[in-house]
Chain A
Amino acid sequence: MIWLGEAREILAWGLILSGSAFLLIGAFGIVRLPDFWARLHAASIPDSAGMILLFLGMAVHSGLTLVTVKLAIIGLLLFLTGPTSTHATANAAFVSGLRPHEGEGLEADEPLESPPATSDPQQERAP
């Protein structure tokens, strides 16, 4: 049964490394994507896949200990606060009048109470 410890180690590090890869992809997306709204979506990759895989990896690595209980509590907290803060950022941008660039042949739906729309300087620069 010696190989069982090895297998757990490999599983844990596989999870941790794939989680880290998603963090890297998220950071890459924030750099590559063209404007605020698109970058917002890249930021939610580390929030979901990166965070979940890293926490699973760390939990497998430490086994059934107090550390895993703490990890679960922190994970739960991040699971709730991550999307909430993303929403707060998006909502603040929207309320202050920043409007997303619409894809070809698409028209934006309007909110019930429409705040004054201003143009996004980043989008004016892009062709």
Chain B
Amino acid sequence: MKGIVTALVLGSLWLLLSGIYKPLILGFGAGSVLAVVLLMARMDRTDGYVPEWRLKPVAFLAYLAWLMKEIARANWAVTRVILSPRMRLRQHLFVVPVTSRGDLAQVTFANSITLTPGTVTIETEPGRFLVHALNYGDETPGELAEMDARVAATEHRRG
């Protein structure tokens, strides 16, 4: 059942992106869809792990809007560092506590840290991330704590 839904979604994506309806191309599409569905079934058999979703869609969109603003600000900060004649760096490796428990929220938080220039998630551990900052300042942990709180607000509390 899950396989049929996946095949339908992937098939329509192929048709939308290719827009060429010749037998050869359609055959390639059908082949790729089949291969992906079989691969996914195989991966399900080997680990059977179901990621936790727990997403609040509206809160998530609000978070994305806030993230765009953060990305703009961080880009500007790193651009200034790169273009300044004497690059003042204050590199630092530090631990950031993580409040979110769902898989999706944790991935969102880790990717958001990496996506904002100046900070990169290096290691993910239970309940904490190891983060590297290019230009560490006193305000850096506070900014990441705010991001953590905003990500945690996009997931349902349960279990």
Residues of A within 8 A of B (CB): 22, 25, 28-29, 32-34, 37-38, 40-42, 44-45, 47-49, 52, 66, 69-70, 73, 79-80, 82-84, 86-87, 90-91, 94, 99-104, 106, 108-109, 111-112
Contacts and interface: CB of A to CB of B under 8 A. Distances in A.
Interface string B121-138: 111010000101010100
Contacts of B56: none
A38 B120 contact: no
Contact of B114 (A73, A83, A109, A112): A83
A41 B78 contact: yes
Given A87-B110, A109-B130, A103 B92 contact: yes
Given A73-B17, A90-B121, A91-B122, A44 B114 contact: yes
Interface of B: 13, 16-17, 19, 68, 71-72, 74-75, 78-79, 81-83, 87, 89-95, 110-112, 114-123, 125, 130, 132, 134, 136
B93 A82 contact: no
Contact of A48 (B83, B117, B132, B136): B117
A47 B62 CA distance: 21
Contacts of A47: 115
The 9 closest A-B pairs by CB, nearest first: A103-B90, A83-B114, A29-B82, A49-B75, A108-B93, A41-B134, A83-B111, A109-B95, A44-B117
Contacts of B92: 100, 102-103, 106, 108
Contact of B115 (A83, A101, A102): A83
B111 A84 contact: yes
A103 B103 CA distance: 33
B11 to A, nearest CB: 15
A125 to B, nearest CB: 16
Contact of A45 (B17, B75, B132): B75
A47 to B, nearest CB: 7
Contacts of A73: 13, 17
Nearest to B93: A108
A34 B89 contact: yes
Contacts of B78: 29, 41-42, 44-45
8 contacts: A33-B89, A38-B91, A83-B110, A83-B114, A84-B111, A90-B121, A90-B132, A94-B130
